[in-house]
Amino acid sequence: MTKITAADGTPAAPFCFGTMQFGAGSTESQSQQVFEACRAAGINFFDSAWVYTNGASETILGELAKSEREKLILTSKGGYTGSASRENLTAQLDESLTRLQTDYIDIYFMHRFDDDVPLQETFDALTSFQQAGKIRQIGVSNYAAWQVMKAQGVAAQSGTRIDVIQPMYSLVKRQAEVELFPMCLSEGIAVTPYSPLGGGLLTGKYNRAEQATGRLSTDDRYAARYAPAQMHETAGALAQMAADQGVDPATLAVAFVAANPAVTAPIISARTVEQLRPSLAALTLPLSSEAYSTISALSPKPAPATDRLEEG
């Protein structure tokens, strides 16, 4: 499996913190408090993107990280807006480097698959960034398994490789188990999945109060993504299980993701330190195989990649 380390050789922490809320859901002061809480818990791995909060995420993270840059692993992503062309990626990467106040980004992700730009152009550009020392490792986000392997073949022709993928994954979004995770275990690709709390659904707050506020109530995209009744039933069952055990449902949700053998580091996130604590608690809650199976049974396991279900 690909190793993720800081420039000074420090291994990546078992969790990564996603800074998508910095400068939007979190004020600069709250962002600093959350960052410091992560560092106190031993987290040295922070995820961002060119597109997050119109650049505020990277700008705030860069200011917070600059005093110990070589000890930290900072990521960013490009190509979500515009395209995966050399010209667009060069412009976005250079702006990300400026915002982050750094000469290099530890892992640079393609934020989405781009059907309109030849993969050779994209990966030739990424290779040149790597050779220039602007990025250390290459990742892809929101790619299907066939897209990863197609891109990996092109990357090899360019003289590089995809080291990390960043898929969506949680107890209510398990499609990654079908092909992405087996692929990564087979090919030695690290996995840093996002949204382990299912957009906040698995915190239990939408079961506790009809007027709960969060992305499911304020963002139409998230509301649609987590609309199925089965997902809400799973969230309710997880909340009850957590109550029976005297833990927070968010802790169990993150622990479930972290326990998958393909997962390198789940990406946790929060607007405030108070919101962060249940996710951090999963650092010290390793799941037994029995506990993992019990939680897994709360949601439907996705069908295998082939149609030979009788052999599954």
Question: What are the residue numbers of the active site?
Answer: 52
Please give the C-alpha separations between residue 24 and each of 122, 143, 177, 300, in angstroms, as whole numbers: 30, 26, 32, 34
Q: Is the separation of the CB atoms in 58 and 96 below 8 Å? A: yes
Q: What distance separates the 2 farthest-apart alpha carbons in the chain? A: 57
Q: Where are the alpha helices (DSSP H) in the chain?
A: 28-40, 56-65, 86-99, 119-131, 145-158, 180-187, 205-208, 215-218, 220-225, 229-245, 249-259, 273-281, 289-296
Checking phi first, is residue 79 left (phi over 0); if not, alpha (psi -120 to 50) or beta? left
Contact 155, 129 (CB under 8 A): no
Distance, in Å, from the CA atom of 83 to the CA atom of 78, rounded to the nearest integer, reads: 9
Tokens matching residue 58: 């990277």
DSSP helix/strand/coil, 71: helix
User: How many other C-beta atoms are found inside a 10 Å radius of the C-beta of residue 208?
Assistant: 11
Backbone angles phi and psi of 108, in degrees to 5: -110, 120
Residue 198 CB partners (closer than 8 Å, separation 6+): 170, 171, 172, 173, 226, 231, 235, 253
Cβ-contact 54, 45 below 8 angstroms = no
Question: What single-letter amino acid sits at 260?
Answer: N
